[in-house]
Structure formats: structure tokens, C-alpha cells
Amino acid sequence: MISITNEHIVASFSAKGAELQSIKGTHSETEFLWSGDAQFWGKFSPVLFPIIGALKDETYIFEGKSYKLPRHGFARDMEFNFEEINEHEILFTLTHNEETLKVYPFEFRLNLRYKIHGSSLCCTYEVYNPAEKDLLFSVGGHPAFAAPLNKQGDYTDYYLQFNKDEEITYHHILDNLISEKTSSIKLDKGKLYLKHEMFYEDALVFKNLKSDSISLLNDKNYNGLDFNFKDFPYYGIWAAKDADFVCLEPWCGIADGTHHNQNLLEKEGINVLASNGTWERTWQVTCF
């Protein structure tokens, strides 16, 4: 495990997938991330790249050729190089290689930059295109936060506080793809209380959230977190069946729709980065 720390929090990572695996209070030792219990879901906060969610038939077409990629892409299962910038910041880097080019015919450099300040952790995705042709990609986060925190209280004591929405409309997932079926939930002063059954059919997928901050709070104590995101056009909220966590997932990209033609250039949410171009997005979690 690789760690960065200050007087408020300690954040720890694995080079595999550049995955954040722990955020603890320096003094309280409150763990804010999910435990990674493989009985339910053995990950903590995987990076989603170069796709998000599933492809139709796990296949996409680019320049007349078919390629296969697993759900959420390959970056989460690859070893990143890393560099400790200082005790508060670390940089992970993944670049194309012979194996990635077989399934994803693009040259790329993906950086994950983690930085702590006060009781906040920032995660920045930096994408660079070293090639002469355009780079097509999606990227996003999948951090799982413990609920309840410190094993105090029950799952249903916890709620998500949306900062700008009074009603949320989500897309249903059908066979891992985004369906046209939607459902709406009226919020109580922006609050959505957690229930395990809420995720029995899979994630809630949003295309039109007004909120750019969602807080995980509870009715029993003051522990919680604020999750801030900006310029992520899609969002997912998910938990494994009956597991005590909730994933808050900001996405620049989305799974294929049920009627998608599999053409990568026509994929909803795909980002197109020109030669020698750079692209970045940041989310931030503040713990208390």
C-alpha cells in the first residue's frame, strides 16, 4: 500500500488500477471507504477507462474493425507506474502497450493524480493523446463509501443529500445496457434515504442531474462526507446486493444503450481528444 497523509486524513492506494483503497481520519481512524469484502464486491474505488459500463455484446466497431472490451475497460486491472510528488500528493500513470493496442487501437497516457488538503482528497483524471489521430475514450470514478461509518447505526439511517435536485430521474439497466425506461424519485428537501433494495436491479444511472455535490449523511451522528464533482455529464449510484456501502460515481461517458449500433464514433458520451491534446476532470471528497 502507498499512502499520503496530513494532520487530518490518511489516504492509501494500490498501484494495481491506481486504486484508492482507504481514507481514514488521522486521529479518529474512522474509515470512510468500503472494506472491499469480496463476499459482496472486492473492489474499493476502481478507475473506469477507456469505457464506462458495458458495451453491447462487449463489442465496439472502429474503422470497420470489431474489438472487445470488458465492462468498465481494462485500466482497473493494470499496474500503474507511480511517483510520490510529496507527502500530500501522488501521481499514477498508465500508457498504451502491445496488449492494450490489440483491444483498443489508440495511443494514450492516463494519469491519476491524488492530492490531500485539509480533510479533503482530490482525484484528477488527466488524459494525454500522443498520437497523430484523435483519441476516443471515456473515464470515470467508482468510489465506494462505507454506510454505516464505524459500524454505528444501520444502512437505512444514512441518506444522500443532493445540493440542487428536488426530484431525480434515473435510467434502468437492462442486461448491463442503458434502457429507455426511466423512473423518478421525489426527494425530501434533497434527501434520498438508502435502502438495500434500491440497488437490487443494478445502478441508478443519471443523465441530467442538476447537483454537483452529494453528501453522505446520517441521522445518528455527525460523521459523513461531501462528494463534489463538476463537468461530469453522467452519474451512477450503486451498491452490491445487501452490502453496507454506496458508490458515488461521476462519469465522462456511459454504457451502451440497448439500441446502440456499436460504432465507437457514435457512442453516447464518448470524448474525442485531438493529437497532442490534454483533458482533465476532478472530483473531491471531504470527510468529517
Q: Which residue in 257, 214, 259, 258 sits closest to 232, CA to CA?
A: 214
Task: Kindly give the confidence (pLDDT) of every residue in the chain, 288 residues in length, as a single tens digit, with 9 standing for 90 and above.
Answer: 999 999 999 999 999 999 999 999 999 889 999 999 999 999 999 999 999 999 999 999 999 999 999 999 999 999 999 999 999 999 999 999 999 999 999 999 999 999 999 999 999 999 999 999 999 999 999 999 999 998 888 999 999 999 999 999 999 999 999 999 999 999 999 999 999 999 999 999 999 999 999 999 998 888 999 999 999 999 999 999 999 999 999 999 999 999 999 999 999 999 999 999 999 999 999 999
What per-residue confidence (pLDDT) applies to 29?
83
Distance CA 110, CA 37 (A): 28
User: Full-prediction pTM beyond 0.85?
Assistant: yes
What per-residue confidence (pLDDT) applies to 239?
98
- Whose grid coordinates read 439511517? 157
Q: Where are the domains of the chain?
A: 2-287
What per-residue confidence (pLDDT) applies to 212?
98
Residue 189, Cβ neighbours under 10 Å: how many? 7
What per-residue confidence (pLDDT) applies to 151?
84
Residue 278 cell numbers, joined: 490534454
Residue 249, Cβ neighbours under 10 Å: how many? 28
The architecture of the domain spanning 2-287 is Distorted Sandwich (2.70)
What per-residue confidence (pLDDT) applies to 249?
98
